[in-house]
Amino acid sequence: MPSTNVPAIAPKKTTAKKMPDTYERVFSRRGRKLCADGLASYIAEAEKALVDDREPWIAFEAFLHALVDADTNSLTQRLAGTFTPTPELFESASRAGELNLAVYERTKEYLRPGIVVEDFAMILEQITSIKLGDEARTNRLRHRYLTLVLEAMRRTGEQPGGGPDLPGPPPSGDELTNRWRVQAPSA
């Protein structure tokens, strides 16, 4: 039985000095794979939303619920800034961004004023941060709160407006992208 002080992934001859480098390689490789898989799921769901022939709002709701089920946005919270993305990841992220913008353009007449495409990422990350009970309970809670958020996002009535102005500006594209810069460890 391995010692509880030595991680199972560490090669037996690894010295303490080399351990951080070993961790970085293993977790960077794993992080890149998880992100690539997550982006592929996100792209597939966005493409489905864009060909969904239902009313754009219904397709948008289905898109966000499918993303919550896929759990791709919780990866962003855990992995952003932990490794340097590859050119392939940047390409996939760019494609996901293009599709996100297309979903937004298709849906924006149904959204309350002040909501921008960058809000989608922050909303989904908030929803997918919910973890309570087992997987089934977590999933039900996430969909409960997504439904509440969708109600708040939807334009109400025939008049422009749909509610009071939203406080503060939305996140910028640069703010969202900068999270993927590798962060120096805190001293």
Residue pLDDT, tens place only, 15-30: 444 445 554 565 578 8
Domain locations along the chain:
19-158+171-178
Q: What is the mean pLDDT of the chain?
A: 81
pTM for this model (two decimals) = 0.75
pLDDT tops 90 at residue 136: yes
Tell me the C-alpha to C-alpha distance, in Å, between residue 92 and each of 27, 41, 102, 165.
Answer: 20, 11, 15, 34
CB-CB neighbours of 48 under 10 Å = 13
The CATH T-level fold of domain 19-158+171-178 is: Tetracycline Repressor; domain 2 (1.10.357)
